[in-house]
Structure 1
């Protein structure tokens, strides 16, 4: 058995970064990386990755939602397989590494497995859609693989009026075959490598972290309803100002989240959108609509926090002579990663002599959908500057190399288990 050397992994890391930057040029917009679900540049990405897979001796297919899937089968002919992958769509004006790095590193790990003659079949999936940009709903690719694709999604339309069904057909695929995208029963688990998209690892001087779970999320719209009136002639004591009520509540949201800023009970709360009406400088705001986004790895803590914040909004409105209306728009439960696979991944870090850091993911990933189908694990790489969803998104070569080393150790451990 040939052992990959340190020179091999360093070379692979540099090649992976270069490949991500090459794929970033396959875009809907000149000079910017924008690649939405099944738009023309996805054909170019598929052609590039298909050639990579074929060169590795993988059998390749595209399922009915446009996921590119390659299967490497070792000479031992094992019936079981382990799945690696991430997504190839992007947000508008994106960086080069969100999603794509996980696909490229999966192929590098297949090559390392082939060099080792690893007795583990590996399926690599380049998910067609994760970001939710084109149709407003994320995870179209992994939903189909996990058996969670609601047929109603086919009727969604993009800004040009094109439906999901039409986009699939325009890509040369058959939406009637989506059920066939379901992951094989031979699959024993899923592993995703992804950039952190945040500042934690860099702040701690660490390269990698094992993801313990993906946070649950509640999104609401909160409306403060007062009375619009003349800013110059309405005394302060006679105002029913929706904007000042909203401002008081927004500060209370921040304070409530800061009360839970460590450990398992950590809460992240954000008011990111505000719409004031009539939105004029010389008119008291009569109504204000604001967003609320609350996230936590513990659903009970998240739910209790949301209830407290909505009660507080109502109390602030009542004290100021206003009405308050709240509407819940999304409830996404937290998704834990598989304990056994997470333990194996942690052991892989230790075996490779890297510091062990475990952390939750504050953003959604394909791993959270795949975890509903098979045991799932996830590894984060440091994001320099904490920057993502931006052209300045980057990775460090030494971090990519470290991820390859840990991924290799992880797969070798799985191969040992599969053969016993």
Structure 2
């Protein structure tokens, strides 16, 4: 074990990382493999070394910090989140979980020595899909769920994923060794809620019970573009009018389904000029539900409604819902009670690395309140006390699992 330097506070670290990729709009842009991302991953590894931990990187650019140099003897406990952000996003989404895990490991080793079960903090390379049209590539790679076709994707400047990956990982290799092929026994992730429930119910901690399934699609209605002044109303094939009626029927179908959340967030009209009858409309649909059967049932009903309007519906995302480990939920509850904090159990309406990992490995997840429920925005905030509460619960849970 290398010499441990003075540990920085979690809040200090969050403020330092907030500056890596800071934008003029008071947000943060740190996309996978860009210069700010590389700087953040290097800084994470530097802090790990200062804390007496052992940093390493894999071939996807996930960076790790372990309490033990040899992690091949038994399954480890993994904890962390993702280091990338959305464009002009907040400073806490992902980064809070990364730095809380690193801080917890540093404090545990300083206070209790090397754990019986190795603990590994992870700074996942990517989760948001902000640069390439692919999400969760870091956690998918780690758990052997990575789709090789992603390697050929290009960003909006024409840079190919594989080229960017090779350059970034090569640079990180100068700072730390590459390591692959080790076993994970359990995974814990700490995250801001990104919603209003904990704040509105005055709860310190959220114990996540599961993560919703997601189905997304692009829906298209084709009519006939025509002259706005010479085409009689009863002879028009107005795609926009049909789309409005279709959307009204989707609302009627889905509005009263318990615990279902759906959003129509993108809307494109062609030719989109004031004096032409709309000839084509495309809009998005995002549906989320913890009960996968209910999600599938109502997505099928939407498909039927679309076909009644002679429209087409093209699925673009299909992520299955997942439940968190009962055992880890109990440990997280006990850790919360040890700190005399209030808590509630709730599902996550957003996707997380924990969702991908839970398909293969027992997983637990902790939420802390988000001010006004805002996230993916420069206005994303959480009170310092709440941030520290979450880190204390994570640290206590790791202690219970590893010491």
Pair in the same fold by TM > 0.5: yes
Counterparts of 1:368-383 in structure 2, within 5 Å, are 368-383=355-370
Contact 2:59/2:169 (CA < 8 Å) preserved in 1?
no
Name structure 2 gaps, 5 residues minimum.
1-6, 173-177
Q: Is the 8 A contact 2:213 2:290 kept in 1?
A: yes
For 2:336 and 2:398, locate their aligned partners in 1 and report how far apart those are by CA, in whole Å.
Answer: 12
1:311 to 283, 304, 308: 304
Contact 2:53 2:106 in 1 (8 A): no
Q: CA 1:228–1:299 in structure 2 vs 1: closer, same or farther (change >3 Å)?
A: same
1:409 is the counterpart of 2:396: yes
Q: Verify the 8 A CA contact 1:28 1:41 in the aligned structure 2.
A: no
The yes-or-no answer on 1:247 pairing with 2:275 is no
Structure 1 runs of 4+ aligned residues shifted over 4 Å read 28-32, 180-183
| Superposed displacement of residue 74, structure 1 | 10
Pairwise CA distance, 1:169: 2.1
**Aligned residue number for residue 194 of structure 1:** 191
> Which aligned pairs between 1:381-420 and structure 2 lie closer than 5 A?
381-415=368-402
In the alignment, structure 1 residue 277 sits paired with structure 2 residue 270: yes
Deviates more, 1:219-228 or 1:22-31: 22-31
Q: Is the 8 A contact 2:77 2:402 kept in 1?
A: no
Residue of structure 1 in register with 2:93 after alignment: 98
Match of 1:205 in 2: 202
User: Equivalent residues in 2 for 1:252-263 (5 A)?
Assistant: 252-261=249-258
How do 1:125-140 residues align onto structure 2 when only pairs under 5 Å count? Answer: 125-140=122-137
CA distance in 2, matches of 1:52, 1:174: 17
Contact 1:27 1:35 in 2 (8 A): yes
Report Cα offsets for 1:281-324 as digits up to 9, x if no partner: 23322221111111111111111111112212333x2xxxxx32
Deviation, structure 1 residue 48: 1.9
How far off its partner does 1:28 sit? 7.5
Report the Cα offset of residue 209 of structure 1: 0.6
Aligned to 2:64: 69
Q: Distance in 2 between matches of 1:172 and 1:204?
A: 43
Deviations 1:197-239 (A, max 9, x none): 1122222222221111111111111112223333344444443
Conservation of the 8 A alpha-carbon contact between 1:367 and 1:377: yes
Of 156-165 and 267-276, deviating more is 156-165
- Is residue 204–residue 343 contact of structure 2 (8 Å, CA) maintained in 1? no
Give the whole-Å Cα distance in 2 for the aligned partners of 1:151 and 1:235: 53
1:295 partnered with 2:277:
no
Cα pair 1:253 1:270 within 8 Å, conserved? no
Q: Select the residue among 337, 357, 377 that pairs with 2:324.
A: 337
Q: Show CA shifts across 1:44-90 (max 9, x none).
A: 21232112111221111121111111111399x98442111101111
2:175 aligns with: none
Shift of 1:139: 1.3
Distance 1:242 1:311 in 2: 18
SS at match of 1:280: coil
Q: Is 2:29 the counterpart of 1:42? A: no
* Mapped contact 1:254–1:269 kept (Cα < 8 A): no
Q: Which ranges of structure 1 fall in alignment gaps of 5 or more residues?
A: 1-11, 318-322
CA distance in 2, matches of 1:172, 1:398: 36
SS of aligned partner of 1:259: coil
Q: 2:112: which partner in 1?
A: 116
Residue of structure 2 aligned with 1:144, choices 121, 141, 146: 141
SS at 1:399 equivalent: helix
Give the count of matched residue pairs.
Answer: 388
1:234-286 CA distances to partner (integer Å, 9 max, x unpaired)? Answer: 4444433221221122233334333123xxxx111111111112222233222
The answer as to whether partners of 2:129 and 2:136 remain within 8 angstroms in 1 is yes
What secondary structure is seen at the aligned counterpart in 2 of 1:326?
A: strand
Indicate conservation of the 8 Å contact 1:144/1:182, yes or no.
Answer: no
TM-score by length of 2: 0.89
Distance 1:329 1:357 in 2: 33
